[in-house]
A = this chain, B = another copy of it.
Amino acid sequence: MDRQRKEGGAAARRNLFEGIPEELPEELMTILATGNGVTIERIVSKGQASPEGFWYDQETHEWVLVVQGEARLRFEGEEEIHLRAGDHLLIPARARHRVTWTPEDRETIWVAVHFS
């Protein structure tokens, strides 16, 4: 059956679509892997967006991929970008940006890789 469970540690397989609660009052962040200055995380959104007037301003680069769902993201001074499943982009360090919309009726699943 599920032999992988027996292998443990190194080869521990997990699934991106598992472990998501029905209700998501806040975005769910799950670290998937970390290394030397690198963090790979799953973000699950369901209707959340950045607060009005709030801009992310991060010290590290962030590569994001929308695996499921969709979202709208805006860099300061630029047009909104609509992201759909499979869309990915690099948010450079210090590029001020905000998430302006995610759908309320289904989960949007992101993979984000933070690196310097």
Q: A residues touching B (Cβ–Cβ < 8 Å)? A: 3-4, 6-7, 10-18, 32-33, 35-38, 40, 61, 63, 65, 67, 75, 78-81, 83-84, 86-92, 95, 111, 113, 115-116
Contact = CB atoms under 8 A, between A and B. Distances in A.
| Main SS class of interface, A | strand
B116 A65 contact: no
B81 A10 contact: no
Contacts of A89: 11-14
Contacts of A7: 75, 78-79, 81
Contacts of A35: 61, 115-116
Contacts of A91: 10-11
A115 B36 contact: yes
B81 A17 contact: no
